[in-house]
Amino acid sequence: MDEKNNSYYIPTIDEFHVGFEYEKLEYSVDITDIPNIHYEEVIRQIKTGNTSIPYKRDWVKKVFNASSYHRVMRLYSPFRGKDEPDDANTSLRVKYLDREDIESLGFMWDRHNTAPEWYFYKDKQYTLKWYTGANEGILIERNGMFIFYGSIKNKSELKVLLKQLNIC
């Protein structure tokens, strides 16, 4: 499959909506053997690089909703304090659209077609053509009639489009 050089990008603030799928860099540490220290203080030290405590960093899949609003928006705020080193450029990412995303939305891949044109089918009436490379874009047909052609960056954008077209 023709993959982008980097399969992730940093989302802009205007991409966020309820149901938007993204990943957040999270830190974890086992503090059971460290007496008299607060977890939040350890995480702050880790994020600023001022600790010798062993820790893990993992990208965790998230779905934006009302309860995550303030935490995510704070990452874009120019008014973050010095003790808050995280920002959207270092702790958020979104995966570019790929074949698995399209299949997860109910489309079946026609294995006879490969890059730069990938063909997918759904319910015998919808065809989704995913063009990669220089002519990158998505073409959606219903019973042979074009109903959409354009650029789709990620699974969340495709999901919204399919809902608007009454496909999902």
Q: Express each pLDDT in 91-149 by its tens digit.
A: 899 999 998 999 999 998 887 766 677 788 888 889 898 888 777 899 999 988 999 99
pLDDT at 166: 92
C-alpha R_g of the chain: 20
pLDDT at 79 over 70: no
pLDDT at 23 over 70: yes
Other residues' Cβ atoms within 10 Å of the Cβ of residue 167: 21
Q: Using H for helix, E for strand and C for coil, what is the string for 12-34?
A: CHHHCCCCCEEEEEEEECCCCCC
Query: What is the pTM (predicted TM-score) of this model?
Result: 0.78
pLDDT band at 45 (very low <50, low <70, confident <90, very high): confident
The full set of domain ranges for the chain reads: 8-95, 99-164
- Mean pLDDT on 5-26: 90
Mean of per-residue pLDDT scores for the chain: 82
DSSP string, the chain: ----SSSEEPPPGGG--TT-EEEEEEEE---TTSTT--HHHHHHHHHHT---S--EEEEEEEE--GGGHHHHHHHT-TT--TT----HHHHEEEEPP-HHHHHHTTPEE-TT--TTEEEEEETTTEEEEEE-GGG-EEEEEETTEEEEEE---SHHHHHHHHHHTT--
pLDDT band at 48 (very low <50, low <70, confident <90, very high): confident
- Mean pLDDT on 33-39: 66
